[in-house]
Amino acid sequence: MKRLLASLALVAALALIVLPSAAAAEGADIYGVGGGSINFTNGGKAFKFSFSAHTGPQGDFGSYRLTIEPPFAPLDAHVDVDCVNVFPNPPGAGGYLGGPITKVTPHPNFFGLQPGDQLLAGFNDFGNPSDPIRDEFAPSVTGFPQQCKLLGPSGQIPISQGNIVIKSL
C-alpha cells in the first residue's frame, strides 16, 4: 500500500511539473495562418497569398508569400515575418503581419521592391470556408518595421478561395 501511495505521489508530482509547462507552451503561441486567392469577377486570379505568422516566447516569426498575377504588374515576393499582431474582430478574429522581403521577382519590378523592403498584410478569420462570412485578406506593397503592431481591427478584401485561421487570446 505504501508503494502504491508513493508511486501515485511521484506521478502527481511529475504531472504538476510537466502539465503546467506544457500548457504554458501550448497557450503561448498566438498565430494567423492561411492561404488562398482573390479573383476577378471573370474567375481569373488577381493575386495569391500564403502565410504562417506566429508570436510566442521567441518573439514574432513566420513566412509570407504574395504573388500578383497578370494583367496587373506581376510580382512574387517572399517575406520573413518579424511582426505579428492578432486580436478579436467580431464575429471572428483579425490581424496584421509584416517583415522584410527575402526574395522578389521580377527584379526590377513595377513596385520598385527589392530584398530588404518591408511588406505588410491584414487578415480576418470569420470561420470555415463554408461559413456565411468569407475570410478576408489585404496585401500592402509598402510598410515599415513593426508597423503591424500599430494597427487594429479593420475590414479587408473577402477572399475568393482558401481559408485563414487565427488563434488569439
For the chain, what is the mean pLDDT?
Answer: 83
Q: What is the residue range of 41's domain?
A: 30-167
22 part of a folded domain: no
Contact 98, 121 (CB under 8 A): yes
6 part of a folded domain: no
Nearest to 117 by CA among 102, 129, 100: 100
Q: Tell me what pLDDT residue 66 has.
A: 97
Q: Residue 13 has which C-alpha cell?
A: 508530482
Cα separation of 137 and 158, whole Å?
6
Q: Tell me what pLDDT residue 169 has.
A: 66
Tell me which DSSP letter residue 99 carries: E
13 part of a folded domain: no
HSE, CB side, 13 Å, CA atoms: give it for residue 49.
34
Q: Which residue has the higher pLDDT, 56 or 86?
A: 86
Rounded average pLDDT over 24-36? 74
Report residue 82: phi and psi, to 5°: -135, 10
Rounded average pLDDT over 42-57? 91
8 part of a folded domain: no
Number of domains in the chain: 1
18 part of a folded domain: no
Name the least confident of 14-18, 61-65, 145-149. 14-18
Q: pTM (2 decimals)?
A: 0.80
